[in-house]
Structure 1
Amino acid sequence: MKSLLIVLSVLSSVLLSSQELDSEGKKQILKVKQSSKLYEGLSLNKFLDSIPDVKMLRIIPNYPLNNSSTFIFGFTDNKTFSRAEKKDRVTIVVNASNLNNKNISPGLFKWDADKSEVKRRFGELKVVSISQ
C-alpha cells in the first residue's frame, strides 16, 4: 500500500510538471512581453505564432463599454491553471468589435483550447495591447 502511494505521488507530480512551460517557452513569453509594441495592430494569428502552444483560453469581454476583449492564454489546462500559485500566461487586449458574430455562449468564456482552435475561431481579431 505504501509503495502504491509513492508511485501515485510521483506520477501526479510528473503529470503536473509536464504541463509547465520549459525555459525556452518562458523566454518566448518574456520576449513577446518586452517587445509588445511590435504586435499591436497585428492579427491574433500572427501573435499566436510568437508564443508557445496554448492549452487554455479565457475571454473577458469589455464591451459594450468599448470594442475590445481581454484574452488570457494559459499554457496549462484550465483546472491546473486555476490551482497554480504562479500562473504562466499572456494577457492581451484584442479589438473585438466583431466578437458578437462568433456566437460565443457564456459557458465558452473559459475553456481548454489549443492554438489551432483559437486561430480558427479568433485569428482575424487585431491585437490592441499586451499586458506586462
Structure 2
Amino acid sequence: MEFLTYDTRRFFLFGARLFFGLWLLYGGLMKWIFMGTAAFVGLIADQFDKTWSPHVLNVFLAWLILLAEPVLALLILSGMKARKVWTLTSFYMFLLTIGQTILMKPDVIANWQYLVLVLLCAALSDPDPLPGEIGKIGS
C-alpha cells in the first residue's frame, strides 16, 4: 500500500496507469475473444467503407486497433517508458476520435475526454529529477 504515500502527481499517474491500463486491456481482449478478429475487422471496414476512406486503409486501421489496444494496455500497466507509452496512447486516442468524427457520431466527445486524459498523463510522466538536479530543470 505504498501508493497511499505518493505525492499528488505520482498518485494520479499510478491510478491512471492502473485503471486506464486495465480498461484498455479489457476492451482489447474482448475484441479478440468475444467478437473475433474477422468480425471486428468486418465491422470497422463496413462502417468506414461508407465514407471517403479507402477499404484497404479501413482494414489496416481495424487491425491496428486490434493490436494497439492490448499492447498499449500492457505497456501502460508495466510503467516502463511512461512518457513514450502515454504519448503513443494519445496518438491512438486521436485516431479513434478522428474515426468517430469521420462517421459523424455524436459520442465523439467521449473520445476527446480520453484523449485529454492520456495527454495529461503523458505531460505528467516526466521522469523524476535526480537529487540535486531540481534547480537545473528547464535550463
| Rg (Cα) greater in structure | 2
Q: Same fold (TM over 0.5)?
A: no
Higher relative contact order, structure no. (Cα contacts within 8 Å, ≥ 6 residues apart): 1
TM-score under structure 1 normalisation? Answer: 0.33
